Structure 1
């Protein structure tokens, strides 16, 4: 009995049909099939974001077919067989069937083929090697993809060690797909191969590693996957200063943010965090955010009085305060819901005085101006941002220096 995805909105969309019609007009019926995530997620009832298509057409034939149909064709990776077709502003990644000729653990030299089984054999996991034709009929060349998808199993195509040696990033992908689609214990052969070959990840670019890691941490419940990574030694290979998992496991239920979840795996030391972020080639924004969570400054707890919380929000900014509050909650400081509402609704006031106010009171501009304003600000914050009495306070500060 054949399995069909018929009725999927993305499959029946006019933009999708236009792309498939263009390819089949050039290569005949069945020359192109949907592949990978769009097929897997449709079968699992999960959202489809990207639509990938595999085809017997060569890249230049794909380009010509799209243009002949009045569709945009972008040569995004023609040396590897990939063309991006654009239909009604939606991108479709279209790749010629391939087989690996040479691999070095990071990238592959490929040759084009017309054999669907050869194309499936070079893919990572059986549930990612599922294809579907233009009408939605599903094909399972490895013979295990459909069962794996239904059972929540992440199983390598062929021998796990062979697939990993082709590209060591597949170790992280094993744990990432297990986090998103796995149920029960991870596949024993795959897990053993990942543990045995984890040192090979040193060959990978930091950017590829961090991208996979953040995708993994964005899963609804990454705890079992991260635990398996830790027990296999893979996590320490990625994060040499990784911390015990208790804080991370408490954090996941408080936030879906992968950056905050990552922070719970890192040392509570801003300098160390900056070094780790640099090694992973994380963006400056992510690096700064991770460091700010554990940097010096106001200590945030879920039990702090509101006046102290307002002072912390003023000094840290709303985003850093909320990040520190989440980390504090994960560490067992209590329920921070009330302080989170405060952070969302309270607008920090502007400093009510400045240099002009000091000049009006007879103080000439100079280094002392800054010191007095800083002293005033500290007192204003400590008194929970009073709205009046500022001139008298300034006058008293000026008098105290004389």
Structure 2
């Protein structure tokens, strides 16, 4: 009989109190917390399943003095607000009808029914909170040991129920998989066109989750081989896929943390209009759109002056550009963006009339200041003197 190894979270007193409130045999831990504990990975979120209805969960928790929030009550999910991290408690469910984008479900009483509607076998592992016994209905333990991501039941049927599972397959493959599952790969290849029916937000979110992983490059290349990447990101040619692999290697070499937006930029040609189109299509935030466009404007001249680049474009964009160009980011380590020690009012005080001429001189001094490596006030005053002298000579 397999059991969940004891972990810090399994011994939390507030979780034991929650189990007591819901009743013996009425709750099991499920999903990521169970999977990640078995892998020895950090656990961030704890999910629970129960045959109790949402109203019964609320009543039981209220009686025990545990606060709750109806965070997903229409789907059967109640969040128990407890010290050390909240717990999402979802009533057992089974699918009644699906259309590829969403499912109509009804509450169930059988644990196996609930397991059968989950996506992958490694996500359908349940653990008894009192005995830590693991309930595995579809061979998830063997798949986890083999590092194999396998759909529950028929892969094509599961994908047709919700096409987002096709993208989730690749994310989980990148994170957990080492052994490819032929049925899953064939299903993803054959059903890739179904991704066009998903909302762009869902596709964009799933892509970001994939690209944020430690090294998604081999999986992204596999997606292109199977024809999946061409559906969700047709701008990513073989050249851009290779650029992603090079970026991941460069991040590792320079010990820079992975970043989904930077990696998305690697998968796009260095053309700002293309970046803008993709950002709009994926419904990215305003700041994400700006960053993607900035990185797309990179040129081979960028590494010549990393700090000047950072001053003009910001540290994040400059870091992204340098990494994508295979250049060192060390000149930016611990460097804070300086402020030009000169104001327009000082130029006016030197006899220049208010208006465009002040802005022109200020910009000229700023350019020289950047090129000189951001010297101090005395040097800037000398630059201003020189600019004013040239202005008088020209007039």
Asked whether the two chains share a fold, i.e. TM above 0.5, the reply is yes
Tell me how far 1:390 sits from its aligned partner.
3.5
How many residue pairs match? The answer is 382
Measure the CA separation in 2 of the matches of 1:37 and 1:351.
50
Partner of 1:138: 134
Partner of 1:188: 182
Is the Cα contact below 8 Å between 2:270 and 2:298 reproduced in 1? no
Matches within 5 A, 1:286-365: 286-295=288-297, 299-301=301-303, 304=304, 308-329=305-326, 336=328, 340-365=329-354
Tell me how far 1:195 sits from its aligned partner.
1.1
Partner of 2:269: 267
Is the Cα contact below 8 Å between 1:376 and 1:393 reproduced in 2? no
Measure the CA separation in 1 of the matches of 2:149 and 2:204.
21
Is the Cα contact below 8 Å between 2:92 and 2:114 reproduced in 1? yes
Partner of 1:401: 394
Larger CA deviation: 190-199 vs 363-372: 363-372
- 1:392 and 2:385 equivalent? yes
Tell me how far 1:352 sits from its aligned partner.
3.0
Partner of 2:61: 66
Is the Cα contact below 8 Å between 2:174 and 2:215 reproduced in 1? yes
Going from structure 1 to structure 2, the CA distance change for 1:297 and 1:400 (only over 3 Å counts) comes to: farther
Give the SS at the match of 2:43: coil
Give unmatched runs, 5+ long, in structure 2: 252-257
Partner of 1:332: none
Tell me how far 1:351 sits from its aligned partner.
2.3
Is the Cα contact below 8 Å between 2:201 and 2:282 reproduced in 1? yes
Give the SS at the match of 1:252: helix
Measure the CA separation in 1 of the matches of 2:205 and 2:391.
55
Tell me how far 1:117 sits from its aligned partner.
1.1
Give the SS at the match of 1:183: coil
Give the SS at the match of 2:178: coil
- 1:251 and 2:244 equivalent? no
Measure the CA separation in 2 of the matches of 1:360 and 1:103.
72
Is the Cα contact below 8 Å between 1:358 and 1:394 reproduced in 2? no
Tell me how far 1:346 sits from its aligned partner.
3.5
Q: Of 74, 80, 96, which residue of structure 1 is paired with 2:91?
A: 96
Going from structure 1 to structure 2, the CA distance change for 1:348 and 1:48 (only over 3 Å counts) comes to: closer
Tell me how far 1:251 sits from its aligned partner.
1.0
- 1:53 and 2:70 equivalent? no
Q: Of 13, 34, 39, which residue of structure 1 is paired with 2:34?
A: 39
Measure the CA separation in 1 of the matches of 2:306 and 2:136.
57
Tell me how far 1:296 sits from its aligned partner.
6.1
Tell me how far 1:271 sits from its aligned partner.
1.1
Measure the CA separation in 2 of the matches of 1:18 and 1:205.
40
Give the SS at the match of 2:94: strand
Deviations 1:123-156, CA, capped at 9 Å, x for gaps: 11111110001121101012x1000011100111
Measure the CA separation in 1 of the matches of 2:309 and 2:300.
6
Is the Cα contact below 8 Å between 2:19 and 2:129 reproduced in 1? yes
TM-score by length of 2: 0.92
Larger CA deviation: 348-357 vs 168-177: 348-357
Partner of 1:171: 166
Give the SS at the match of 2:80: strand
Larger CA deviation: 259-268 vs 125-134: 259-268
Measure the CA separation in 1 of the matches of 2:338 and 2:129.
59
Tell me how far 1:391 sits from its aligned partner.
4.5
- 1:204 and 2:198 equivalent? yes
Q: Of 127, 152, 155, which residue of structure 2 is paired with 1:157?
A: 152
Going from structure 1 to structure 2, the CA distance change for 1:177 and 1:342 (only over 3 Å counts) comes to: same
Measure the CA separation in 2 of the matches of 1:365 and 1:298.
38
* Aligned residues: CA RMSD: 1.7
Partner of 1:367: 356
Measure the CA separation in 1 of the matches of 2:71 and 2:345.
58
Partner of 1:125: 120
Going from structure 1 to structure 2, the CA distance change for 1:266 and 1:56 (only over 3 Å counts) comes to: same
Q: Of 216, 222, 231, which residue of structure 1 is paired with 2:225?
A: 231
Going from structure 1 to structure 2, the CA distance change for 1:310 and 1:273 (only over 3 Å counts) comes to: same
Moved over 4 A (4+): none
